[in-house]
Structure formats: C-alpha cells, structure tokens
Amino acid sequence: MSSTKTDDFMAMKGAGYYSKATTGAKDVMDGAVHLIMEALERMDPPDDGSLFTMSDMGCADGGTSIDMVRDVLSEVRRRCPSRPIQMIYTDLPRNDFSQLFQIVHGLTDIKSYFSDIENLYVYGCGTSFHQIMLPPGSLHIGHSSTASHYISKVPCNISNHVHMVGAEGDERAAFEAQGASDWESMLLNRTQELATGGRLALFNFGIDEEGRYLGHTGGVSMFDTFNEILDELASDGTISRAEYLNTNFPQCYRTTEQFTAPLNDSSNPVYKAGLRTEHVESRVVRCPYARDFESHGDAQKFAREYIPTLRSWSEPSFLSGLSGDRPGQERAAIMDEFYGRYEARVAAAPEGHGMDYVHIYLVCEKV
Ligand SMILES: C[S@@+](CC[C@H](N)C(=O)[O-])C[C@H]1O[C@@H](n2cnc3c(N)ncnc32)[C@H](O)[C@@H]1O
C-alpha cells in the first residue's frame, strides 16, 4: 500500500471547499453547543485574570465550528471579563491553515467572531492529536468534532471493502484494536493537557445502539456504495486490483461501549489520570442535502449538491490508494470518474441516498 500513516496524506479539501460543502458537520456542532455551555456552567471558571484556553482539535478550515466557538468564547468572556482567552485550532500539517486564518480573520463570506471578543488570541497548531499538543495543565475546554475516528495508521488492507465498517474477521479486529489504542492514548494526552476542572467535549463519529453509522441509517449505505464503485473501477480496468486493495479509510468507528471503556475501568491509565465521564449520548443528525431533496424533489440537483459533501472528506483516502506512479492529472481524472459515477447513481435513483451523521457525544471532566 502507498502510505499507512494518516499524517502523510490526510487533509480535507482546501480553499474553502470543506466548510462550504459540509454544512451537516456544522449542524452537528451547532446542535450540541448547549453541552459545552452546560459544562462551562458546571466548571464555573473564576474571573481571576489568568489565561483561559480552548482548543478545536481536527478543525479543518474552522468554518464549520465558527458559530459554536463564537458562542462558547462569548460566554467565557461574559463570565470572566478579566481573563485573556487563547483559542487554539489544531489539525494535521497538510491542513489548509491559511484558509482557517482567512475565515477566523473575516476575509471570507463566513462571519467570524474574532473582532467581537476582546482580549482574544487565536493560534494554529499542526501537531497530530495522537501526540501531546499543549503544555501540561493548560487546557480548559478541549473540543473536537467529527475527527477522532481518524486513526494514526492503517493496520492492514481490507480485502473486501474500503472501510472498517465492511471489514470482517481479523481485518475488522485489527482496525478495532488500532482504534482502541489510539483512543486511549488520545484521552491520556488530553488529560495531561487539561487543567484540573477542565472539560473535554468530543462529538465523535461512531456506531449507535441500532448499528447506525455515517451514511448508513436505513437507506442506501454510503460506504457500501463507495466500495461498489471502486470495485467496478477495478473490474473495468480504470484502476488496478492492487489499487483497490490499497484503498482503506484510516478510520475506526467506535461504539459507545468502546468510547467509554477507558473511562469506566478504574484500572485504566485514563481513569487513573483523572478523566471522568459527565455526559454520553448518541444522536443522528439528518443529511441536509437529503432533507432538501424531500422538499424540492429534483434528483439532478440533489446529486449535484450531495456529492461534494462526500468528496470534501473522502477524496484523500481514495487518492492515497492510487499508485504513486500515476501522474497528477491521471489521478484527478480517476477521482472525477469515481465521484461522477456516484453522482450518476444518485441522479438515476435518488431515494434512500444521504449522509446522515451518527455521533457519540462525550463530555468529560478532569478531576
Ligand atoms: C471531517 S473533518 C472535521 C472538521 C471539523 N472538526 C468539523 O467537524 O467540521 C476531520 C478533520 O480531522 C483532521 N484530523 C484527522 N486526523 C487528525 C489528527 N491525528 N490530528 C489532528 N487532526 C486530524 C482532518 O485533517 C480533518 O481536518
């Protein structure tokens, strides 16, 4: 396979494409901002003039979280007028941080909070959340949405599918083991970064009690469709069978039990380090494009608007499976063909398509 390390290739589509195409991820955060507000209420931070730090980990271009961050930082400012606020956006080194800063500094059509909050300092950090990112004891609110499913590396090829949700036997077990070990170290690293009384608000892609996950909530399964189309491209010679095999999303979708295991076991290093669950729930947030289709009924329009949201986050994983010997133009043409076929399927038979979001929401306190 080309590269098994996620950091080597992962980045959402840049130049503003991500947040323009991914309004559902914004809906997830906007709909759960009250969980962070309630945590802030419990935290009751003193107005003592010390530095208050919030992070948005795996922020992409920062556009989807902009209103959530505005709400939370405005509340911190209201409660603690004397405290300087530090807002730290983190993502992988290949992320389009320039776009992030353009959004935060109001240079795009997205309305930013930056000039509305006094004594606010915004920074970017390109260190992986699988490592320590911040000084010990310095973090007050650590937030991450729709990012923790990215594992640090692909543990093996999946022979029959492109994603671990379709993997079987040892292959599925290898992804779950990688997911468990990355999740535990992610929580441990964050616990070290948190100040006592600090909170984590992690809105994670996962598998809910009914076995639902992203794009798999009862209609046409999105990951199965990805797999079918890639298999089709391998069968008709557009790509090689090796390229099909080398295409594996570096992701693990975890169940609520898997998310909470390190927090419930008093012998686990995460528990011993002082991290405790305050709140856990699962939710399904409807795909905004499928919802719009219900009212406008235009299949071509739905297909045209829906495919970019898939492309905004999935393309790097498909590109990473292609042979490095292919020139850039050829790789781009294969991607256009791949997403074109998906669009044609949706346009021809739109019913049941959609990317509903399935999240496990966790709020934790460092005691
Ligand atoms: C689907 S996007 C979510 C972006 C944003 N949080 C939202 O909810 O719209 C996932 C983001 O996580 C980032 N990511 C993946 N692995 C990461 C890691 N190890 N450290 C930091 N960011 C990571 C990706 O680069 C990407 O920007």
Q: How confident is the model at residue 16 (pLDDT cuts 50, 70, 90)?
A: low
Find the 198 Cα to ligand 1 centroid distance in Å.
22
Percent of the chain with pLDDT over 90: 93
Write the residue with the smallest CA distance to atom 23 of ligand 1: 58
Best residue among 3, 12, 103 to mutate for probing ligand 1, ranked by most atoms within 8 Å of CB: 12
The predicted pLDDT at position 12 comes to 67
> How many residues appear in the chain?
367
Residues with CB under 6 A from ligand 1: 6, 10-12, 22, 25, 58-60, 64-65, 90-92, 95, 128-130, 145-147, 150, 313
Write the residue with the smallest CA distance to atom 16 of ligand 1: 150
**Is the CB of residue 110 less than 8 Å from the CB of residue 63?**
yes
Find the 341 Cα to ligand 1 centroid distance in Å.
26
- Above 50 in pLDDT, residue 226? yes
Assess if CATH 3.30.460.10 describes domain 6-366: no
Write the residue with the smallest CA distance to atom 15 of ligand 1: 150
Dihedral Cα 158, 163, 166, 171, nearest 10 deg: 30
Find the 60 Cα to ligand 1 centroid distance in Å.
6
The predicted pLDDT at position 7 comes to 75
Each residue's pLDDT tens digit, 227-285: 999 999 999 999 999 999 999 999 999 999 999 999 999 999 999 999 999 999 999 99
- Reduced to 3 states, what is the DSSP secondary structure of residue 55? strand
pTM of the entire predicted model: 0.94
Going by the DSSP 8-state scheme, the letter that residue 151 receives in this structure is -
**Please, what sign has the CA dihedral across residues 155, 161, 164, 168?**
negative
Beta partners for residue 194, in sequence order: 139
Write the residue with the smallest CA distance to atom 21 of ligand 1: 91
The predicted pLDDT at position 1 comes to 43
Q: How confident is the model at residue 2 (pLDDT cuts 50, 70, 90)?
A: low
C-alpha to C-alpha distances, 246 to 12, 132, 178, 240, 334, nearest whole angstrom: 20, 30, 18, 10, 15
Q: Mean pLDDT score of the chain, rounded to an integer?
A: 95
Q: What is the atom index within ligand 1 of the atom nearest the CA of 152?
A: 19
Structural element, H or E, at residue 40? helix 23-43
Each residue's pLDDT tens digit, 319-333: 999 999 999 999 999
Each residue's pLDDT tens digit, 151-191: 999 999 999 999 999 999 999 999 999 999 999 999 999 99
Find the 47 Cα to ligand 1 centroid distance in Å.
32
- Above 90 in pLDDT, residue 335? yes
Q: What is the mean pLDDT of residues 128-138?
A: 98
Q: What is the mean pLDDT of residues 283-293?
A: 95
- Reduced to 3 states, what is the DSSP secondary structure of residue 22? coil
**Is the CB of residue 238 less than 8 Å from the CB of residue 251?**
no
Q: What is the mean pLDDT of residues 137-149?
A: 98
Each residue's pLDDT tens digit, 69-121: 999 999 999 999 999 999 999 999 999 999 999 999 999 999 999 999 999 99
Q: What is the mean pLDDT of residues 29-56?
A: 98
Q: Report how far residue 131's alpha carbon sits from residue 121's, in angstroms, rounded to the nearest whole number.
A: 23
Q: Report how far residue 233's alpha carbon sits from residue 237's, in angstroms, rounded to the nearest whole number.
A: 6
Q: Cα 210 from chain centroid?
A: 21
Higher pLDDT, 307 or 2: 307
- Reduced to 3 states, what is the DSSP secondary structure of residue 133? coil
Best residue among 64, 95, 152 to mutate for probing ligand 1, ranked by most atoms within 8 Å of CB: 95
Q: What is the atom index within ligand 1 of the atom nearest the CA of 203?
A: 8
